[in-house]
């Protein structure tokens, strides 16, 4: 005491507030004014919820699994046991034990071994600091083996803690951060690990065993050191008897009992790979949420991994998610030699029109990094955990269609179609010639219809019939008429980027280094036939803007982020929405695309309510797609082989097999088309999704310009023959040709 008093007089800042008068008043004031910052809350888990408030995943800071419980949820015998052995004056003296503090500080200041915390308040501070350190080894060491200055700071924090908490609150808080070895942080987890029991149901012998562990978790580990653990347990029992928490007879009887363990592994299942996320079919959705937090909200993601304590509410609709997940695994089961011998990926995104809310992400894969698992979210852009993107085939004709409707082209706009054809010239946004290659001169595009050659002299198609029949040569001409640059700008307005997030109007250096086509999309005439790799989510959002009558909203998954303990909401980024076309244009497009399900390339695909769609197939069975929607929900499906999509993995022959809706036998068309597995996936999903009451699309007024015959003489408007398969685009070209 004399040594410490001398240190105080020498100006060393030490925390002796009212300790038997040995510190001067000035020293006490110095301690009270010591700026050490708030201890803050101990790290706790953060939870991700669906739109109904049901949890889908939990994140634990530093991968430390903890389940905090309240004072009333801890058995009284456990509370008494820890007080008896660790701080028997807990209810009498406060945060600073005079004898223990003086002993520790004397040893530390005289060069002796650094001594640890003594009171429960000091132990609580040490454990919280250790938990806050997470995986930072230096910070962990500082919390466990502090130097003298850090020891003083922790003592000051202990005083603050006792000032801010009631004794019952502090005792519960301490038991929630105490370490019991075997990855058991907190009394609830310890009870679960050692006894497969909750903390509220601990018995005397169990409580005494746990209370004895905290002084030296490794030494008194009952699994690896049952002898020392038993001796320590009995020490706790004796101390409880001395303090009259239990009778001497009860202590003696408990001492004679052997240690009985019922071990269970601490369920350290954190994040999107947990069985909870995988079981409820939301792992890929969860992974996208995680990437959104990491990229768009780095401070929130940092909090999740340090202090935690957040509730993240998402737009996930579990009914939609289950419907989509069941559909992709029904149509293309990942391990089925009969229905999916090519091991094709089947991915689907569901988006709510008018809000951009992502209601489901489904992939026919098990999420994870282990054998037979996949952690690539093929539905989203690569910087958000996705892959290289997908080609969209004729589902990208939507951008040319919208551009034409914006220019006032009517439903009857005629174009003579000759297949095969060399169409052009095409100009980029700088006014230069675009395209060329693959046998076509610069500025031109070689294109054929999927149906093959046209009769001699060609056929005349109109905008409506060419769209529902997906006539490639027609759309190549239409793209040339409205301007390739304008079509790409329409796609940009509708939210489209490349799969790596690069603008369609820019040269993509990343693609150049990988050997893929890096040129801006306005230099690729086959853009209308889906030659540029994009993400299914971007396509779903683009179609959602048509469905929402020209109101585009970027995909969103976050509804709110709440501090669980305080209820305070964290700010979210504003929803980026804008008008990308007039209502009249959107209504006209919706009218045409309803015909795809009636007489067009997806005739026969129905869900018993108003719906619209567009099929898409890339060259050679490499990719197949289906965009389908009702006025309340949009789905975009892409099917392809993710390992080798453009050579050996082409969906030809046996690799084209899938299971159609309501079928017990494989369907093997020889080449996968948009109306095959993608169409079946959409139909199966929308038969079970949460669509609400049937709602019709807004009709196109009879006097609308879209009902006029348009310019040019129409000698013969020939409707295309009803196809049995979706129409594929011709070979893509560009400078250099697009690689498939």
With respect to residue 51, please indicate whether it lies within any of the assigned structural domains: no
| Domains held by the chain: number | 3
With respect to residue 567, please indicate whether it lies within any of the assigned structural domains: no
Check whether 281 has a pLDDT greater than 90: no
Q: Do 31 and 136 reside in the same domain of the chain?
A: no
Check whether 107 has a pLDDT greater than 70: no
Distance CA 91, CA 531 (A): 74
Q: Do 159 and 247 reside in the same domain of the chain?
A: yes
- Looking at residue 244, its pLDDT comes to 95
- Looking at residue 134, its pLDDT comes to 67
With respect to residue 321, please indicate whether it lies within any of the assigned structural domains: no
Check whether 116 has a pLDDT greater than 60: no
Q: Which of 94-98, 141-145, 415-419 has the highest mean pLDDT?
A: 415-419
Distance CA 430, CA 506 (A): 12
Evaluate whether 120 touches 174 at the Cβ level (below 8 Å): yes
Q: Do 153 and 22 reside in the same domain of the chain?
A: no
Relative to beta strand 577-579, strand 551-553 is: antiparallel
- Looking at residue 267, its pLDDT comes to 63
pTM: 0.82
Q: What is the mean pLDDT of the chain?
A: 85
CATH number, domain of 168, equals 1.10.3810.10
HEC per residue, 273-285: HCHHHHHCCCHHH
Average the pLDDT over 60-71 and give the result.
87
How many residues are there in the chain? 740
With respect to residue 559, please indicate whether it lies within any of the assigned structural domains: no
Evaluate whether 486 touches 403 at the Cβ level (below 8 Å): yes
Average the pLDDT over 285-299 and give the result.
96
Instruction: Please name the residue ranges forming H helices in 418-471.
Output: 463-468
With respect to residue 288, please indicate whether it lies within any of the assigned structural domains: no
Evaluate whether 191 touches 66 at the Cβ level (below 8 Å): no
Q: Do 414 and 496 reside in the same domain of the chain?
A: yes
Looking at 255, 289, 322, which one is the last position of a domain? 255
Which domain does 18 fall in, by range?
Answer: 1-35
Distance CA 19, CA 228 (A): 36
- Looking at residue 37, its pLDDT comes to 53
Q: Do 23 and 139 reside in the same domain of the chain?
A: no
Q: Do 495 and 432 reside in the same domain of the chain?
A: yes
Q: Which of 204-213, 268-277, 297-306, 646-655 has the highest mean pLDDT?
A: 204-213
Q: What percent of the chain has pLDDT over 70?
A: 82
Q: Do 95 and 3 reside in the same domain of the chain?
A: no
Q: Do 83 and 225 reside in the same domain of the chain?
A: yes
- Looking at residue 271, its pLDDT comes to 82
With respect to residue 19, please indicate whether it lies within any of the assigned structural domains: yes
Average the pLDDT over 412-435 and give the result.
92
Least confident of 261-270, 490-499, 500-509, 728-737: 728-737
Average the pLDDT over 104-133 and give the result.
66
Looking at 255, 274, 303, which one is the last position of a domain? 255
Q: Do 10 and 120 reside in the same domain of the chain?
A: no
Distance CA 513, CA 534 (A): 18
Residue scoring higher pLDDT (357 or 142) = 357
HEC per residue, 142-171: HHHCCCHHHHHHHHHHHHHHHHHCCHHHHH
With respect to residue 640, please indicate whether it lies within any of the assigned structural domains: no
Distance CA 503, CA 405 (A): 24
Q: Do 226 and 86 reside in the same domain of the chain?
A: yes
Strands (E) in 524-568, as ranges, are 551-553, 558-563
Nearest to 706 by CA among 478, 474, 409, 398: 409
With respect to residue 194, please indicate whether it lies within any of the assigned structural domains: yes
Looking at 203, 229, 255, which one is the last position of a domain? 255
Check whether 662 has a pLDDT greater than 90: yes
Q: Do 14 and 106 reside in the same domain of the chain?
A: no
- Looking at residue 738, its pLDDT comes to 30
What are the CA-CA distances from residue 89 to residues 128, 158, 454 (Å)? 22, 15, 96
Q: Do 440 and 513 reside in the same domain of the chain?
A: yes
pLDDT tens sequence across 322-333: 999 999 999 999
């Amino acid at each position: 005491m004399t040594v410490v008093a001398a240190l105080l007089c020498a100006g060393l800042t030490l925390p002796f507030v009212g300790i038997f008068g040995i510190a001067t008043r000035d020293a006490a004031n110095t301690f009270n004014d010591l700026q050490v910052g708030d201890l803050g809350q101990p790290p706790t888990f953060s939870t991700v919820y669906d739109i109904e408030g049901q949890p889908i995943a939990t994140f634990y800071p530093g991968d430390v699994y903890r389940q905090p419980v309240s004072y009333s949820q801890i058995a009284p015998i456990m509370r008494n046991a820890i007080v008896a052995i660790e701080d028997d004056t807990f209810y009498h003296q406060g945060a600073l034990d005079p004898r223990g503090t003086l002993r520790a500080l004397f040893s530390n200041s005289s060069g002796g071994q650094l001594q640890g915390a003594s009171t429960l308040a000091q132990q609580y501070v040490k454990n919280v600091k250790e938990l806050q350190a997470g995986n930072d080894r230096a910070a962990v060491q500082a919390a466990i083996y502090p130097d003298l200055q850090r020891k003083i700071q922790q003592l000051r924090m202990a005083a603050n803690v006792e000032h801010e908490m009631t004794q019952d609150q502090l005792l519960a808080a301490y038991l929630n951060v105490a370490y019991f070895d075997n990855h058991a942080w907190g009394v609830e987890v310890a009870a679960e690990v050692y006894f497969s029991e909750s903390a509220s149901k601990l018995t005397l012998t169990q409580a005494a065993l746990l209370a004895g562990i905290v002084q030296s978790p490794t030494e008194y580990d009952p699994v690896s050191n049952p002898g020392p653990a038993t001796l320590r347990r009995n020490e706790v029992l004796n101390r409880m008897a001395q303090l009259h928490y239990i009778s001497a007879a009860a202590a003696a009887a408990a001492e004679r009992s052997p240690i009985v363990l019922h071990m269970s592994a601490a369920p350290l299942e954190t994040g999107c790979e947990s069985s909870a996320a995988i079981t409820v079919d939301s792992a890929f959705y969860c992974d996208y949420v995680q990437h959104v937090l990491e990229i768009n909200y780095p401070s929130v993601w940092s909090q999740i991994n340090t202090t935690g304590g957040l509730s993240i509410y998402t737009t996930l609709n579990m009914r939609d998610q289950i419907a989509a997940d069941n559909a992709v695994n029904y149509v293309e089961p990942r391990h089925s030699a009969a229905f999916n011998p090519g091991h094709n990926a089947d991915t689907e995104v569901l988006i709510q029109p008018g809000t951009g809310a992502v209601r489901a992400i489904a992939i026919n894969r098990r999420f994870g990094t282990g054998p037979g698992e996949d952690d690539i979210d093929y539905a989203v852009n690569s910087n958000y955990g996705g892959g290289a993107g997908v080609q969209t085939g004729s589902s990208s004709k939507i951008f040319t269609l919208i551009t034409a409707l914006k220019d006032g082209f009517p439903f009857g706009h005629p174009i003579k179609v000759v297949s095969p054809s060399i169409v052009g010239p095409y100009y980029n946004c700088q006014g230069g010639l675009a395209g060329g290659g693959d046998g076509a001169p610069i500025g031109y595009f070689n294109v054929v219809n999927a149906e093959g050659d046209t009769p001699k002299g060609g056929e005349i198609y109109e905008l409506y019939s060419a769209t529902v029949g997906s006539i490639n040569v027609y759309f190549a001409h239409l793209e040339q008429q409205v301007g390739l640059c304008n079509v790409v700008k329409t796609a940009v307005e509708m939210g489209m980027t490349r799969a790596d997030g690069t603008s369609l109007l820019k040269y993509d250096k990343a693609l150049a280094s990988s050997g893929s086509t890096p040129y801006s999309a306005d230099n690729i005439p086959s853009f209308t036939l889906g030659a540029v790799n994009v993400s299914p989510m971007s396509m779903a959002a683009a179609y959602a803007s048509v469905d929402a009558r020209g109101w585009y909203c970027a995909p969103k998954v976050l509804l709110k982020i709440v501090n669980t303990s305080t209820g305070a909401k964290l700010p979210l980024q504003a929803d980026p929405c804008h008008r990308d076309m007039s209502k009249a244009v959107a209504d006209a497009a919706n009218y045409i695309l309803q015909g795809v399900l009636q007489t067009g390339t997806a005739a026969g695909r129905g869900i018993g309510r108003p719906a619209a769609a567009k099929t898409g197939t890339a060259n050679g069975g490499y990719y197949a797609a289906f965009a389908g929607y009702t006025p309340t929900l949009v789905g975009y499906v892409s099917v392809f082989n993710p390992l080798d999509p453009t050579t050996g993995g082409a969906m030809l022959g046996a690799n084209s097999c899938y299971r159609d809706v309501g079928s017990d036998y494989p369907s093997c068309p020889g080449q996968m088309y948009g109306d095959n597995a993608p169409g079946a996936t959409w139909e199966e999903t929308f038969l079970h999704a949460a669509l609400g009451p049937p709602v019709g699309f807004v009709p196109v007024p009879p006097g609308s310009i879209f009902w006029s015959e348009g310019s040019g003489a129409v000698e013969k408007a020939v409707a295309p023959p009803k196809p049995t398969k979706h129409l594929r685009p011709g070979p893509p070209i560009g400078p250099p040709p697009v690689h498939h």
